[in-house]
Amino acid sequence: MNRLLRISLLLFALASTAAHAKTPLARGTGGAAATISEQATQSAITILDQGGNAIDAAVAAAATLGVTDPFSCGIGGGGFMVVYLAKDRRVITIDHRETAPAATTPTLFIEDGKEMEFDTAVASGLSVGVPGTVRGWDEALRRYGTMSFEQVLAPAIDVAERGFRIDANFSTLVARNEGKFARFPAAAALYLQNGKAIRPGTLLRNPDLAGTYRLLGRDGVDAFYEGPLARAVVDTVNRPPTAPGVSVRGSRMTLADLANYEARVRLPVHSTYRGYDLYGMPLPSSGGVTVFEALNLLEGFDLASMSRAQVEHLYLEASRLAFADRDAYLADPEFVDAPVAGLLSKDYATQRRALIDASHAASGPVSAGDPYPFQQDPSQPLRPTTRVPQPESAHTTHLTVSDKDGNVVAYTFTIEDWGGSGMVVPGYGFLLNNELTDFDFTAPHPNIPEAGKRPRSSMTPTIALKDGKPAFSIGSPGGSTIITTVLQTIVNYIDLGMPMDQAIDAPRMSQRNGGTTDIEPGFASTMQAKALVARGQRWSDQPEEIGAANALVFNADGTVTAVSEGHRHGVGSAQVQTPKR
Ligand code: GLU
């Protein structure tokens, strides 16, 4: 970022601190939080101030995001939480990804022998996976938290009941989904006015969601997975309550699907990069494996001695190769024996790195490699597929929290598309996900729909340690661009030496083994872009904002810096318990 932009950002940050607490950058001591929502960050700090730990505060922030950012996330969806436990000095992860109902078959999205149109699949009962978020929160609190549902949901209940003024970003998201919400009266009642998106400045209350959170506070996790609320979810998914004249496909979810839903506590995926120990989300998220494979490819280049353009060229090429492997091999590990050890082996990276042309971009999509010789057990190879990857949406939210004792949470959760399936559970105030469209629609592929399976994800909550201590956390929303946002931010921070706020603010480029690279508006005409075009890089002609990252940096002087977005998705919100200038 140039100096002027940086100064204006800082001034902007200071001005917003003066007007209200919303600033994307904060440094200090005690706990810290960064989310995309001012109210959510405040909920985390409130819980920390009440003596809760980072896990308690992360759930409080997430529940608040379910109110203020309901199109990205909520209890109708699922997610992945990575936690550094200071006392045990170890990292664990909680997978609460949605599962396909037991009645699911590989032809879930096939109609008349053909793949269903993506948008038709999204706005239907078929796309809804069994929601995992509430089970995930419960697992997190019971195992690693110190507070009850009742305590951590209180700040979110307050926001849902009192309401909040929606901003332009919120209204734009509704406008983009008017058609989807109009199909479902319960969604239209919340987010539309006379069939049109509610306007910026509108005070939005969600008493139904407040009531749902209260129910969870009173009766605990079972109130979501059994009883009237579970029945309402199943009814909505199987017989979607639509506007007159609208009909959408229903599913065959059962009460048993909900009652049987389990979150998984999994070991993180681990790798090293230039002296850092990186911990990320294992399968069924492809995030950790893909970022770490790309970093292994980059590790063989002396990036510190190179120009920014050269580093960025290599970043794009490494991402291309890693995505070819991701698309070919990665899926739910309970269904598919994916060659993760091979993909993450440094020797495999050495072999695959030879495919990178340091002076010119690949001419188009590249093939997946063969990681099997680098597996400990190379016996049963999957056949890599070279099919064009399934379209994926680009939404979700990421938050990160630390506490005074050194615990750190990096948490990404979602309902998939903006507004998920578009179906609000009547009387309960939350949107249901469309996560099952993250499956590949056509067999054979490791990531096809199967009963009880979790669709492959891109979510990449990541915690980095250095010398055994937390160094930084990072994560982002954005569908499959999550992976490139996390990768690029790590390269910006570690290799290009940018402070984390600059690393996050820098223009994003997302190369996911396509013919062109996705970029953000205004980028193509910059000198930075031209230097990459000179190396054969090509841009997509529909630039769009990419991601909305949040990070924490643990500084050598014992302070922590919380960093959110300075200009994407509105402006994010970073706070520390005790600010320090
Ligand atoms: N469904 C996506 C995933 O799990 C996340 C949605 C998004 O970020 O847009 O990877």
Task: Quote the tokens at residue 46.
Answer: 């409130």
Asked, for residue 163, whether it belongs to a domain, the answer is yes
Q: Which domain holds residue 214?
A: 3-264+391-576
Q: Give me the pLDDT at residue 376, please.
A: 73
| 573, 64 contact by CB (below 8 A) | no
Q: How far is the CA of 41 from the centre of ligand 1 (A)?
A: 22
Residues with pLDDT less than 70, the chain: 1-21, 377-394
Residue 393 Cβ contacting ligand 1 at under 6 Å: yes
Distance CA 543, CA 520 (A): 5
- Give me the number of domains the chain comprises: 1
| 374, 293 contact by CB (below 8 A) | no
Q: What are the pLDDT digits (tens) for 305-347?
A: 999 999 999 999 999 999 999 999 999 999 999 999 999 999 9
Distance CA 233, CA 428 (A): 9
What is the residue with the minimal CA distance to atom 7 of ligand 1? 479
Which amino acid type is present at position 503? A
Q: How far is the CA of 177 from the centre of ligand 1 (A)?
A: 17
Residue 482 Cβ contacting ligand 1 at under 6 Å: yes
Grouping H, G, I as helix, E, B as strand and the rest as coil, residue 95 is strand
Q: Give me the pLDDT at residue 453, please.
A: 98
Which amino acid type is present at position 7? I
Residue 458 Cβ contacting ligand 1 at under 6 Å: yes
Residue 122 Cβ contacting ligand 1 at under 6 Å: no
Catalytic residues: 396
Asked, for residue 153, whether it belongs to a domain, the answer is yes
Asked, for residue 288, whether it belongs to a domain, the answer is no
Residues 6+ positions from 227 with CB-CB distance below 8 Å:
none
C-alpha neighbours within 13 Å on the C-beta side of residue 81: 34
**Local structure of residue 570 (DSSP, 8 states):** S
Q: Give me the pLDDT at residue 16, please.
A: 38
| Cα dihedral 99, 102, 106, 111 sign | negative
Residue 396 Cβ contacting ligand 1 at under 6 Å: yes
Asked, for residue 281, whether it belongs to a domain, the answer is no
Distance CA 168, CA 172 (A): 6
Residues 6+ positions from 423 with CB-CB distance below 8 Å:
125, 128, 184, 186, 187, 236, 237, 240, 241, 431, 432
C-alpha neighbours within 13 Å on the C-beta side of residue 566: 22
Q: Give me the pLDDT at residue 4, please.
A: 42
Asked, for residue 516, whether it belongs to a domain, the answer is yes
Asked, for residue 337, whether it belongs to a domain, the answer is no
Q: How far is the CA of 338 from the centre of ligand 1 (A)?
A: 20
Asked, for residue 374, whether it belongs to a domain, the answer is no
CATH of the domain at 404: 3.60.20.40
Q: How many CB atoms lie within 10 A of CB 92?
A: 18
Q: Give me the pLDDT at residue 30, please.
A: 98
Residue 483 Cβ contacting ligand 1 at under 6 Å: no
Q: Mutation test of ligand 1: which of 176, 396, 568 has the most ligand atoms closer than 8 Å to its C-beta?
A: 396
Q: Which atom of ligand 1 is nearest to the CA of 438?
A: 1
| 457, 285 contact by CB (below 8 A) | yes
Q: Which atom of ligand 1 is nearest to the CA of 435?
A: 1
Q: How far is the CA of 534 from the centre of ligand 1 (A)?
A: 32
Q: How far is the CA of 34 from the centre of ligand 1 (A)?
A: 19
Q: Give me the pLDDT at residue 569, please.
A: 85
What pTM was estimated for this model as a whole?
Answer: 0.94
Asked, for residue 148, whether it belongs to a domain, the answer is yes
Residue 397 Cβ contacting ligand 1 at under 6 Å: no
What is the residue with the minimal CA distance to atom 5 of ligand 1? 479
